Structure 1
Amino acid sequence: MHTVVIAPDSFKGTVDAAEVATALAEGWRSVRPDDEVRLLPMADGGEGTLDAFAVAVAGAVRHAVTVTGPVGAPVEASWLELPDGTAVVELAQTSGLTLLDPLQPFAAHTVGFGEAIAAALDAGARRLLLAIGGSSSTDGGTGLLGALGARFLDADGSDTALGNAGLAELATIDVSGLRALPPGGALVLSDVTNPLLGARGAASVFGPQKGATHEDVAVLEANLARLVDRAAAAAVDPSGRVAVAPGAGAAGGAGYGLLLWGATASSGASGVGEAIGLPAAAAAATVVVTGEGRYDDQTADGKVASYVAGLAPGRAMLVAGMIQAPTEGVFIAAASLTELAGGVAAAMAAPLVHLRSAGAALAEQSDT
């Protein structure tokens, strides 16, 4: 009998991680019904992170919250309370890219994310896990910090407009009313290590994904640079060291805002994995199955499948929608939904069907 841990990421745009894990388990059990199968759906700090925790952590409680959406309209979201008093808050739910149509690169902000964090603190959260992937804005985290009590003022002492556009008028930053971190601190979950400014920064790399034109990117960058300058003048980041820290450019600079607050940056996949106890579970397992929508050369850069494979050398199996990089030496077996379905369109039309087939195919390849 095998002890099997199933720890996939979501297949973005088609199936969430919990659904992927369930379908793979059903396929596996159809071949090996006596195996002990444990589901630990994963995430890298983007959309679906909260749902992954909800499935993986027994006793987790979801709390509904209404927040200000990325351009003002109310958004219904939730945060997750874990049994140890940790709160998981996901930016994609409150200030995410999928909440806007059309995209508004200068107006979009992170106020709702800050409001959800505040709600968790008001409820007594002792520690925060903050998943920041999938942002719609490039506001440098000013929206979320404003919701937590900071003020961003123009030359007349009035609050600046929300979003990146407001940074053009920024004169002074007042953090005297900024809420304190919870006793256990705050951990930022993201697979992005970019700094805030420059060729690898938030505006240059991610601005186009949020609707910015080539000309817009230069303005977004200049406004973020003004934020860094004003943060230095206000002694919030006197040396500018936070702006160049890995992850400061994540989520349009939401990473920068959270680091200014005192949060700690973490790899999204490893942060989620540690929080749900995946390393210990993988160490005790006979086989560990992971998966993602596309397995390619970028997977090794901190993606879930690479992280999980590193926890179970010689025992890891992969399921992917498409496999576009060698799996030999990393996984002992692999299954492609595209190959099982006979094409991309067929795989995407019925992903759960083919995920069950993939789970069964991997079970058949496992040692008896």
Structure 2
Amino acid sequence: MSRYARQIALSEFGAAAQDRLGSAHILVVGAGGLAAPVLQYLVGAGVGRITLMDGDRVSLSNLHRQTLFRMTDIGLPKAEIAATHMAALNPDCTIFPVLEPLDPLNAPDQVGEVDLVLDCADSFAASYILSDICSTLNVPLISASIVGTSGYCGGFCGHAPSLRAVFPDLPDRLGSCDADGVLGPAVGVMGALQAQMALAVLAGIEPDPLGQLVTFEAIGNRFGGFRFDGAPEPEDGFGFMAAAQIAPDDWVVDLRAAQEAGPALPNAHRLGVADFDHPHTRPQTGRAVLACRSGLRSWQAACRLRRHWGGEIALIALGDVQKETAR
């Protein structure tokens, strides 16, 4: 136990907490910048099993913030390479790499097998998918996001309100690392906060981080936050589904531009968000299924459709064309 002697020595921790870590199984979604400190600290702390999901590959533009990777890793699957590096850090921890992105089809089985989920994907669609499933299965969720110099980290679900209770609506525009940039150390701060919250939940350290949101602004090094233990769950929200779950009688709309890259969506109507301001833009029968790349335009169109139609609405975040995961 000399590996863990310094944390066992803490009065708030002890041998019983270490045993809980060793028997824990967690799911980490995303193997990028947030996951770099998450994996290093939790693997170092002695978490027993980690399932790591990511369908992407390492690229040169990742390296300033995704500090698990080296130049020699460029072009290789992130989850696989991260698992290899972490096995060298602590052979006590077993890491199962899953070389595919999280989606509404594979998420329930993955979440159902673990004690805690860490959302490191920095994708709002993935965050809502995970929150909905974790809330249903009563699994704690530690979710973080950062764009530019601003971010948050929170403990959701389990016995706490879901992410939807804190973020029931989306902004008109979602930032992205590609479009808005991001500072590597700021990503590291948020990932370290995720690791600390996860450690506290797994080891039973008080105060409980579930029901707490921490905000961070890198310029000026400003922290903030609040507790949301009593936040009510929204009565109405839009859930995500996979393209493979489309039914024959669904009214499917592709909100992407005709030249926009991404997976094909056969037999879908091609409309824009503004088209849903008109009452006649609605399904005649069946469910409305609204699809775009990230899910943001689908959400915006759903809000407009809801104003004049009360039927079932589901969203699809199609993402980008998936790269081959074989070497």
Q: TM-score, normalised by structure 1?
A: 0.24
Larger Rg: 1
The structure richer in helix per residue is: 1
Q: TM-score, normalised by structure 2?
A: 0.26
